[in-house]
Amino acid sequence: MKDYGNPLTHVVSIPPYPPGRPTDAVAREFGLDPASIVKLASNESPHGVAPGVIAALAEVDAASNIYPDFDCYDLRHAIAADVGMAPDQVLPGAGSSEIILLAARAYLDGTRKAIIPQYGFQSYEGAVRSVGATPVFVPVKDWVPDIDAMLAAVDDDVHLVYLASPNNPTGTVLPRAEIERFAQALPPHVLLVLDEAYREFLAPEDRPDIARLFQMRRNLIVMRTFSKIHGLAGLRVGYGLGDGELLQVLRRLQLPFSVSAQAQAAAIASLSDSTFLERNRVENESERARVAAALEKAGVRILPSGGNFLLLEVGDGPAISRELMRRGVIIRPVANYGLPTWIRATIGLPRENDVFLGALDEVLRAAG
């Protein structure tokens, strides 16, 4: 790096975030028609956006010369009504990715540590390292975060824990009772960030009762996103829920106007369409079961998933991913998570899933 001065060592140590490969890039590399490509690489929704979103966007687009409402007044009120909390207990961000980062910046520095369960979402490590703090990875037990081991890893220097359920990339779900046990037992000086990016894909009775969690501890942020079941990944909007005073601390660090007017308007419109959301959940559940059954029948090991994706064991993950790409199917290799024999595939439309299953069958046969 000698030509670039001296960037901070802790920044250089951040593993680059490997996004799902864009359709156009894969089309160029393999000489494919972009329209023929099936992208199941980023846990995006295959169901588009709620009809009301299109109208809401058309209305805002005309005012793109104006900064958005940094206070996100209408969106905070809409979310508050939806989740049964107060508007000052809602902090919208540019995707939940922004909340992940704000939590790290508010609670961590070079002297502090954060606990991340093994196979936790990669952005957690990036956020922790970005402020020079030390990530403490705690091994999972039977593929789910080991609550007792995480509690045992807490000391005075640990100030943050990231915990996702369902987790990405494994899809595994931590039972409600375990999340509650953790929320109760975690010492009060540690901020618990509970990541519910995939919450809406769970059956309503399996979703954590966050009112109970907030009764158990105040040092808690629950994160959600509009990128997944709402189908608004391209607009970048998510939010954190927590005590107003705590959120105000994070807000000091927020990039001004990070949530665009389009994102705010679309999120409000999407929240109001419960029929659309429920249909997406049901379709995901039935397609996920169908794809899982087909994979199991083919002898492919998969993990039980509560999200809109499956983690499957295929042998040489990166090589299989490449062969699938050559056939116009983009999925996600997960070697960067220490899972070189696995790949992650998003649940798409029935036709897309069939293309994926067909291509995988071909590739696995060729690999012997």
Ligand X SMILES: Cc1ncc(COP(=O)(O)O)c(C=O)c1O
Binding stretches for ligand X (CB under 6 A): 43, 95-97, 121, 164, 168, 195, 197, 225, 227, 233, 238
Residue 149 Cβ vs ligand X, minimum distance, rounded to whole Å = 20
* CA angle (340 as vertex; 339, 341 as ends), nearest 5: 95
Nearer to ligand X, 83 or 233 (CB): 233
| Residue closest to 334 by CA, chosen among 42, 14, 44 | 42
Q: Which amino acid is at 242?
A: G
Q: How far apart are CA 285 and CA 281, in angstroms?
A: 6
* C-beta closer to ligand X: residue 190 or 197: 197
**Residue 34: partners with Cβ closer than 8 Å, 6 or more residues away:** 23, 24, 27
Cβ closest to ligand X, residue 213 vs residue 363: 213
Residue among 219 and 227 whose Cβ is closer to ligand X: 227
Q: Give me the least distance between CB of 239 and ligand X, in Å please.
A: 9
Shortest Å distance, C-beta 97 to ligand X? 3
* Distinct helix (H) and strand (E) counts, the chain: 14, 13
* CB 298, min distance to ligand X, A: 26
Q: Are 281 and 300 in contact (CB under 8 A)?
A: no
* CB of residue 337 to ligand X, shortest distance in Å: 12
| Tokens read off for 92 | 């919208």
Q: Shortest approach of ligand X to residue 155 CB, angstroms?
A: 26
Nearest approach in angstroms of CB 119 to ligand X is 11
> How many C-alpha atoms does 23 have within 13 Å on its Cβ side?
8
CB 137 within 8 A of CB 153: no
CB of 196 to ligand X, least distance (A): 9
Nearer to ligand X, 197 or 300 (CB): 197
* Residue nearest to ligand X as judged by C-beta position: 95
The amino acid sitting at 214 is: F
Residue type at 362 in one-letter notation: E
Contacts of 274 (CB under 8 A, 6+ apart): none
User: Please, which residue, 125 or 195, has the CB nearer to ligand X?
Assistant: 195
Which CB, 224 or 327, lies closer to ligand X?
A: 224
Helices marked H in the chain — which ranges?
Answer: 9-12, 23-30, 51-61, 73-83, 96-107, 122-130, 147-153, 176-185, 210-216, 244-251, 261-271, 274-297, 317-326, 350-367
CB contact set of 361 (below 8 Å; sequence gap of 6+): 298
| Shortest reach from residue 243's CB to ligand X, in Å | 21
Q: 152 vs 255, which CB is nearer to ligand X?
A: 255
225: β partners = 238
Rounded alpha-carbon distances, angstroms, from residue 222 to 90, 202, 204: 10, 16, 17
In terms of CB distance, is 96 or 284 closer to ligand X?
A: 96
